[in-house]
């Protein structure tokens, strides 16, 4: 998602953007978030209060503590090289990239796509009502 200006975005701007975006995620899927040591997350306690998500931080220079995130970054780099200025892309363009990535099967998900797993988890928490004939 686009982070608001200024660049770099302040902790207050990140708090607002993350709060809005994370509230759009179904509540059963909002459990934890692991972040790096960036100062933009200085207001992480407020983010947790706003969204119900526990925020954890990995140790500096320890990307293995966020393996799935690092793998996903690699997938994003197939579309957007490292250092790409995202302000040149619309949110719709970024959403298209995310949609393509989220439809790709993953070995870590037993060859299911993230969207398939997400859909199944949602169905588990919110089963469809029985059809009465």
Query: Quick one: pLDDT band at residue 128, thresholds 50, 70, 90?
Result: low
Question: Higher pLDDT residue, 76 or 69?
Answer: 76
Residue pair 80/72 in contact (Cβ under 8 Å)? The answer is: no
Task: State the pLDDT at residue 132.
Answer: 67
Question: How far is it, in rounded angstroms, from Cα 30 to Cα 51?
Answer: 8
CA 19 to chain centre: 12
Name beta bridge partners: 2. none
What is the number of residues in the chain? 133
Q: What is the pLDDT of residues 41-71, one digit of tens each?
A: 899 999 999 999 999 999 888 888 888 888 8
Bridge partner residues of 57 (DSSP): 35
- The residue behind tokens 């975006």 is 21
Contact between residue 1 and residue 91 where contact means Cβ atoms under 8 Å apart = yes
Contacts 24+ apart (CB under 8 A), 68-74: 68/108, 69/34, 71/108, 72/101
Return the structure tokens found at 114.
């993230």
Residue in the block written with tokens 């708090």: 15
Distance CA 108, CA 94 (A): 24
């Amino acid at each position: 998602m686009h982070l608001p200006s200024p660049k770099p975005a302040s902790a207050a701007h990140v708090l607002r953007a993350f709060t809005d975006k994370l509230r759009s995620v179904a509540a059963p899927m909002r459990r934890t978030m692991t972040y790096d040591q960036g100062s933009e997350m200085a207001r992480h306690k407020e983010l947790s209060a706003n969204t119900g998500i526990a925020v954890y931080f990995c140790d500096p220079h320890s990307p293995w503590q966020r393996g799935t995130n690092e793998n996903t970054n690699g997938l994003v780099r197939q579309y957007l090289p490292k250092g790409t200025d995202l302000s040149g892309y619309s949110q719709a363009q970024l959403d298209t990239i995310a949609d393509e990535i989220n439809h790709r099967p993953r070995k870590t998900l037993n060859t299911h796509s993230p969207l398939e797993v997400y859909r199944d988890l949602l169905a588990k928490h919110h089963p469809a009502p029985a059809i009465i004939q």
